[in-house]
Amino acid sequence: MKPDPAAFARLLCGYCLDAQPGQQVVVRSTTLAAPLLLAVQCELLERGAWPLLRTELPGAAEQWWDAASDRHLDGFAAAELAEAEQTDASLSIQAPENTTALAGVDPARMARAARARAPLREAAMRRRWCGTLWPTPAGAQRAGMGTGEFSDFVRRATFLDRDDPAAAWSELRALQERLIERLARACELRIEAPGTDLRLNVAGRTWVNSDGRRNMPSGEVFTGPLEDSAEGRIRFTVPSSPSGVEVSGIELEFRAGRVVDARAERGHGYLLATLDTDPGARLLGEIGIGTNTGIDRPTGAILFDEKIGGTVHLALGRSYPETGGTNESAVHWDMICDLRAGGRLSADGEVIQQDGVVRP
Amino acid sequence: MKPDPAAFARLLCGYCLDAQPGQQVVVRSTTLAAPLLLAVQCELLERGAWPLLRTELPGAAEQWWDAASDRHLDGFAAAELAEAEQTDASLSIQAPENTTALAGVDPARMARAARARAPLREAAMRRRWCGTLWPTPAGAQRAGMGTGEFSDFVRRATFLDRDDPAAAWSELRALQERLIERLARACELRIEAPGTDLRLNVAGRTWVNSDGRRNMPSGEVFTGPLEDSAEGRIRFTVPSSPSGVEVSGIELEFRAGRVVDARAERGHGYLLATLDTDPGARLLGEIGIGTNTGIDRPTGAILFDEKIGGTVHLALGRSYPETGGTNESAVHWDMICDLRAGGRLSADGEVIQQDGVVRP
């Protein structure tokens, strides 16, 4: 089986979560990830930790949204918050049976539930956490691949094809650290590509080295740009699928940080509606640079796509407080610009990345 | 599908649990019960309650026992106790993939874990709870039936073949109430059948009307006999399978309440080892009378077998405090004596049940 469940579980419980004896670790996925879930349970038990498996049945989420009343949208079970507060770590494994299962749910209902469940998210974020993906036929279909081919892809993306995956992640962390040393000195970032010429200010902001311990796979460095700094145009060349809605060919124009013009070849209405969610939805919350060369093409899973080595991504909406970013929004929508076919990222005039390759 | 998942869910969430708006209900089963689990989630949401599904993967329990260390046998995750204390009700649905999955686990390890987990059991018992069974191929195999035939059997056992299952259960409750009125006046019970002549004293003890709200199906009345009262011999004609070990042809001899002689045609060693678990394991903790005529034959599931209309069962070990019984033990082993082929239960000389039929 690929990726090997036991090796994957070792990477997740060791490198990512560093699970210790006596720790309580909540593990969430669907029944489709059964081989990995069993391997994670075994690995956690061998480490002396307490695995708490929360396995979702196919169809359960779709039915929940179908049957949920106002009460369910505007609150949550107190036991869920208690669990988040009283356990030590959580591992979420995407393993969808149908990646568009929730495409028919009213986005307003989803936003309402997301607001009500904010305390759950915040409590989970205060613990150690990791998010990853197990290859399923639905995930492969979203990527336009055979299931075996997609499984191989996931194996390469997570470095599970390397002799020592944890060591390979540590190497990438060191490489990213050197990149951050250069970026941390910069004020103005500029992205240039066909249809794209955008300037941002990142002076004083903190760059985060995303080394696979929270997202597996990762391979990016990111920060939050100054909220009023974005000027110019950008064309995002990689489609994205927020909540299962495919949006592609997005072009945005920024003035003093705000989106003043927006279009999409596909999903135009969804894009405009999202921009109107709240005032923060028109501002940038993140700029990230993908460094994972094990991820060589888009698959429709943002967990992978934003890490493609040779891409840059911007997120509309909420920024990550640890970057120094201050934008608040219910939205956080990552949009990816592939620079490999011709493009440049520069910092205060120094070329950082040319045609997808980091310049020394 | 039989039983109909929606009708079963209505019976469980309504008649059994009486789930109220805002209540948090933990639902435990395996993935094999998926149709019933989804129906229960839907029913709870429609009642305004919070379903908390805890779905076990096939093989997960077997692997847990395989990989668990001393730490795991001698404790539990604190989050499990918090969940039991902070939620309002629990529903446990047996749906085994293999009814003998744990047959290879050392009984001493299981007893050790059972002792350590006593606080979890006690916390769960303080809430409203219900235990039931969903028909699986493994459950059918244990019963020696086809899966469809077993599903029909479960449907009849739970009264889901009736027009109004909840009303049928209420009728049985009334019938059992009249039986209890007669039994509550009695001091000495006597069971007579080929190979059996046993006397017990139940003076001052409380009879419980088991009407399907805690066990679905139920259909029994039970109490705890005076701990030193059992005198005589009894032959149990229905096999039982504690922890997946089949034991049949059990004969016990009692003096002053204690088992002084024991044999079994099959599982003799297991029987003797269990009697030596602790001092309470040689005393009776329960006498029950099965009244469910929808259950017409043994299936190897104690949930059904002890309710067969026309049988009497005794349990070695722990008594239920609500009966007034005081016996303590890690053991509670129900053993069933079928009186339908010829036998009698009398109370202070008055015949209560003759050849499996309750006498008016």
Beta strands in chain B (DSSP E): 24-30, 50-56, 89-94, 128-133, 188-193, 196-201, 208-210, 220-223, 231-236, 250-255, 258-263, 284-290, 311-317, 332-338, 344-347, 350-354, 357-358
Which residue, among A197, A196, A201, has the nearest Cα to A348 in the 3D structure? Answer: A201
Q: What is the DSSP letter of B11?
A: I
Nearest-angstrom CA–CA distance, B30 and A55: 10
Are residue B15 and residue B123 in the same domain, yes or no?
yes
Cα B19 to its chain centre, rounded Å, is 22
Question: What's residue B330's pLDDT?
Answer: 84
**Whether pLDDT at B94 is above 90:** yes
**Whether pLDDT at A135 is above 90:** yes
pLDDT in tens, B253-300: 999 999 999 999 999 999 999 999 899 999 999 999 999 999 999 999
Are residue B137 and residue B212 in the same domain, yes or no?
no
DSSP calls for A265-330? SBSHHHHHHHHTSSGGGGBEEEEEEE-BTT--S--S-HHHHTTBTTEEEEEEEPPPGGGT-----S
Residue B53: give its domain's CATH number. Answer: 3.40.1830.10
How big is the A-B interface in CB pairs under 8 Å?
Answer: 109
**Whether pLDDT at B242 is above 80:** no
Question: What's residue A272's pLDDT?
Answer: 95
DSSP 3-state assignment of B88?
Answer: coil
Is B169 inside a domain boundary?
no
Of A21, A63, A86, the CB nearest to B79: A86
Question: What's residue A320's pLDDT?
Answer: 94
Are residue A178 and residue A157 in the same domain, yes or no?
no
Question: What's residue B241's pLDDT?
Answer: 79
Of A57, A67, A77, the CB nearest to B55: A57
What average pLDDT does this structure show over B221-248?
92
Is A168 inside a domain boundary?
no
**Whether pLDDT at B72 is above 90:** yes
Are residue A90 and residue A224 in the same domain, yes or no?
no
- Report the share of chain B in percent with pLDDT over 90: 93
| Residue from A53, A70, A85, A117 to probe the interface with B (highest B Cβ count within 10 Å) | A53
pLDDT-based confidence at residue A37 (cuts at 50, 70, 90): very high
Domain end marker among A161, A187, A203: A161
What average pLDDT does this structure show over B120-145?
96
Of A38, A69, A87, the CB nearest to B57: A38
pLDDT-based confidence at residue A261 (cuts at 50, 70, 90): very high
| Complex ipTM | 0.90
Is B167 inside a domain boundary?
no
Question: What's residue B224's pLDDT?
Answer: 98
Q: Where is average pLDDT lowest: A63-67, A109-113, A192-196, B350-354?
A: A109-113
**Whether pLDDT at B1 is above 80:** no
| Residue from A40, A57, A62, A87 to probe the interface with B (highest B Cβ count within 10 Å) | A57
Is A44 inside a domain boundary?
yes
Domain end marker among B161, B196, B213: B161
pLDDT-based confidence at residue A103 (cuts at 50, 70, 90): confident
Is A167 inside a domain boundary?
no
Q: Give the residue numbers spanning the domain of A133.
A: 5-161
Domain end marker among A161, A188, A218: A161
Is A57 inside a domain boundary?
yes
Are residue B234 and residue B296 in the same domain, yes or no?
yes
What average pLDDT does this structure show over B150-176?
97
Are residue B134 and residue B224 in the same domain, yes or no?
no
Query: How many structural domains are present in chain A?
Result: 2
Are residue A19 and residue A144 in the same domain, yes or no?
yes
CA distances from B35 to B4, B7, B27 (A): 9, 12, 13
- State chain A's mean pLDDT as an integer: 96
Are residue A146 and residue A178 in the same domain, yes or no?
no
CB A112 within 8 A of CB A72: no
How many helices (H) and strands (E) chain B has is answered by 12, 17
Whether pTM > 0.90 for this model: the answer is: yes
Is A268 inside a domain boundary?
yes
Q: Where do we find the tokens 């429609």?
A: B46
Nearest-angstrom CA–CA distance, A78 and B85: 12
**Whether pLDDT at A111 is above 90:** no
Nearest-angstrom CA–CA distance, B208 and A198: 77
Are residue A150 and residue A225 in the same domain, yes or no?
no
Are residue B40 and residue B105 in the same domain, yes or no?
yes
Question: What's residue B152's pLDDT?
Answer: 97
Phi and psi at residue A135, in whole multiples of 5°? -65, 125
Are residue B146 and residue B81 in the same domain, yes or no?
yes
What number of CA atoms fall less than 13 Å from residue A278's CA on the CB side? 15
Are residue A200 and residue A338 in the same domain, yes or no?
yes
Is A169 inside a domain boundary?
no
Chain A residue closest in CA terms to B38: A60
**Whether pLDDT at A1 is above 80:** no
